[in-house]
């Protein structure tokens, strides 16, 4: 609504517009912003960016004046502006602060093109070589058919190559003498306008993303990744995040928001191979997070767990289960994650220390054991303590000598202490 309100105001008031470079733009450091009354209202489109840069260079000023000539008042609308300037004899080279995509173009996991993308590329091959070389002589029926195939395949293709191809097709179709052929540019222009609009973003983050995640190609990619990182998923997650943190525009900060990622990858003019690598890493990250039982969100170094321990919490009606429930209701995120890590270690220690005992237990004996532990866990107590491995988790709730449990993560070599602090009649775990 804010966009429509702003565009309506621009249409009615026809204010002065200032065009100036905006190197702080998260999507593109080469961007040229349009500003009105000291406020940015948008950016010059990619197809006209080099012309705007050239006009700025020709003026010798840090900004140039423009006037509004046409406005489309809609949710993802646009406006045309005109600049009074001498005719450009040639375009000045686009001075670039550029995004370096080279590290993303080799030695990274890649998603093979989908069926739609295969059809898109095949349609482009025919259009480029047979139908749009001499557009007025093209067979109208075939031209429509191949353009429809290309439109269907490109609706989720956010790559630089497809973006450039779309603008080229619009230019060639609009240059035709035949009115029917010129009309074929209309759906291409609509796609260009709406490709990052809310309806398309919703489809891309919903149905399309789910289809990709369930596809055979992603299943094969995950299987290879899972085998290669067997027992080392936390290390694998660190490696993925190390790469994604290098993405321009602080894109890693939005790693849990697919709509933001898709929109910004499009406006960053991302090459197809780099785009496929980024999507593959994002999918692997989501599957890895799912396997580890954590949320798909950006992380800091001390939030990563350690490999070689059980990482998925079981629903245990025992003291361990009570510890987890306590963390869910009483602790902030950092404290909760520390408690979960302690639980992982405790369970891992017990299962490693008593493998034969666990294997020898029949189902009825396991049930009796669980009932006994539950009974002991529910017994009233005045203290809440977590003990080290030499007592084993089987003895939690019994009287022990050690008054505290110390944890020394290998990654930080810092101690984490779990102490008890009484409040009234209940015991509260305090993490320092």
More confident residue, 326 or 37: 37
Give the residue-averaged pLDDT of 374-397. Answer: 44
The DSSP line for 295-359 is -SS---GGG---TTS--SPP--SSHHHHHHHHHHHH--HHHHHHHHHHHHHHHHHHHHH-HHHHH
Q: What is the pLDDT at residue 90?
A: 63
User: How many whole angstroms separate alpha carbon 70 and alpha carbon 41?
Assistant: 15
Q: What is the pLDDT at residue 96?
A: 57
Q: How far is CA 70 from the centre of its chain?
A: 35
Please determine, for residue 398, whether its predicted confidence score (pLDDT) is greater than 80: no
User: How many whole angstroms separate alpha carbon 371 and alpha carbon 212?
Assistant: 44
- Which residue is associated with the tokens 């003498």? 177
Please determine, for residue 217, whether its predicted confidence score (pLDDT) is greater than 70: yes
pLDDT tier at 116, thresholds 50, 70, 90: confident
Q: What is the pLDDT at residue 117?
A: 87
pLDDT tier at 44, thresholds 50, 70, 90: confident
More confident residue, 346 or 318: 346
pTM of the model as a whole: 0.61
Q: What is the pLDDT at residue 407?
A: 31
Q: What is the pLDDT at residue 309?
A: 47
User: How many whole angstroms separate alpha carbon 353 and alpha carbon 360?
Assistant: 14
What one-character DSSP code corresponds to residue 114?
A: P
More confident residue, 260 or 59: 260
Q: What is the pLDDT at residue 361?
A: 44
Q: What is the pLDDT at residue 350?
A: 59
Please determine, for residue 422, whether its predicted confidence score (pLDDT) is greater than 60: no
Please determine, for residue 382, whether its predicted confidence score (pLDDT) is greater than 70: no
Percentage of the chain exceeding pLDDT 70: 68
For the chain, first and last CA: distance in Å? 47
Please determine, for residue 388, whether its predicted confidence score (pLDDT) is greater than 50: no
Q: What is the pLDDT at residue 205?
A: 94
Here the tokens at position 266 are 């499009």
Please determine, for residue 21, whether its predicted confidence score (pLDDT) is greater than 60: yes
pLDDT tier at 416, thresholds 50, 70, 90: very low
Q: 18-22, 158-162, 178-182: lowest mean pLDDT where?
A: 18-22
The pLDDT tens digits of the residues spanning 223-250 come to 888 878 877 889 899 999 999 998 888 8
Q: How far is CA 201 from the centre of its chain?
A: 13
Give the residue-averaged pLDDT of 137-147. Answer: 91
Please determine, for residue 424, whether its predicted confidence score (pLDDT) is greater than 60: no
**Arithmetic mean of pLDDT over the chain:** 75
Query: Which parts of 114-245 fold into alpha helices (H)?
Result: 115-126, 140-154, 160-174, 179-183, 185-194, 198-203, 209-213, 216-228, 233-244
| Range picked from 101-110, 324-333, 382-391 for highest mean pLDDT | 101-110
| Range picked from 157-161, 311-315, 329-333, 335-339 for highest mean pLDDT | 157-161
Please determine, for residue 306, whether its predicted confidence score (pLDDT) is greater than 90: no
Here the tokens at position 20 are 């100036």
CA angle 314–360–308, rounded 5-degree value: 45
Please determine, for residue 187, whether its predicted confidence score (pLDDT) is greater than 90: yes
Q: For 88-113, b where at least 16 C-beta lie within 10 A, e where not — what string?
A: eeeeeeeeeeebebeebeeeebebeb
User: How many whole angstroms separate alpha carbon 352 and alpha carbon 318?
Assistant: 19
Q: What is the pLDDT at residue 245?
A: 92
Q: What is the pLDDT at residue 250?
A: 84
Q: What is the pLDDT at residue 325?
A: 65
Q: Helices 140-154 & 160-174, crossing angle to 10 degrees?
A: 150
């Amino acid at each position: 609504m804010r966009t429509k309100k702003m565009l309506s105001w621009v249409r009615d008031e026809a204010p002065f517009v200032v065009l100036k470079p905006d190197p702080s733009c998260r999507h593109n450091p080469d961007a040229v912003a349009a500003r009105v009354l000291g406020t940015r209202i948008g950016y010059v489109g990619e197809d006209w960016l080099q012309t705007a840069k050239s006009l700025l260079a020709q003026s010798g000023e840090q900004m140039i004046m423009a006037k509004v000539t046409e406005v489309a008042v809609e949710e993802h609308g646009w406006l045309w502006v005109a600049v009074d300037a001498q005719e450009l004899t040639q375009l000045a080279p686009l001075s670039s602060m550029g995004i370096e995509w080279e590290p993303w173009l080799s030695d990274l996991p890649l998603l093979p093109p989908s069926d739609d993308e295969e059809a898109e590329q095949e349609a482009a091959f025919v259009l480029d070589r047979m139908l749009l070389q001499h557009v007025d002589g093209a067979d109208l029926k075939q031209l429509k058919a191949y353009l429809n195939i290309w439109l269907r395949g490109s609706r989720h293709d956010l790559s630089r190559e497809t973006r450039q191809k779309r603008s080229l097709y619009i230019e060639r179709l609009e240059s035709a003498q035949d009115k029917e052929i010129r009309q074929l540019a209309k759906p291409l222009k609509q796609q260009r306008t709406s490709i990052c609009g809310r309806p398309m973003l919703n489809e891309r983050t919903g149905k399309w993303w789910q289809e990709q995640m369930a596809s055979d190609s992603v299943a094969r990619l995950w299987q290879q990744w899972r085998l290669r990182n067997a027992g080392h998923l936390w290390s694998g997650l660190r490696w993925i995040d190390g790469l994604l943190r290098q993405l321009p525009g602080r894109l890693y900060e939005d790693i849990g928001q697919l709509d933001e990622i898709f929109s910004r990858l499009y406006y960053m003019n991302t090459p197809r191979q780099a785009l496929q690598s980024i999507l593959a890493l994002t999918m692997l990250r989501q599957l890895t997070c799912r396997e580890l039982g954590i949320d798909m969100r950006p992380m800091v170094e001390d939030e990563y767990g350690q490999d070689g321990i059980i990482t998925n919490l079981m629903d245990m009606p025992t003291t361990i289960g009570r510890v987890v429930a306590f963390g869910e209701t009483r602790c902030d995120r950092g404290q909760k994650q520390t408690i979960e890590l302690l639980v992982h270690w405790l369970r891992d220690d017990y299962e490693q220390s008593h493998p034969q005992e666990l294997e020898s237990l029949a189902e009825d004996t396991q049930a009796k054991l669980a009932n006994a532990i539950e009974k002991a866990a529910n017994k009233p107590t005045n203290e809440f303590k977590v003990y080290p491995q030499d007592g084993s988790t089987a003895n939690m709730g019994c009287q022990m000598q050690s008054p505290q449990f110390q944890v020394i993560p290998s990654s930080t070599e810092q101690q984490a202490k779990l102490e008890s602090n009484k409040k009234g009649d209940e015991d509260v775990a305090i993490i320092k």
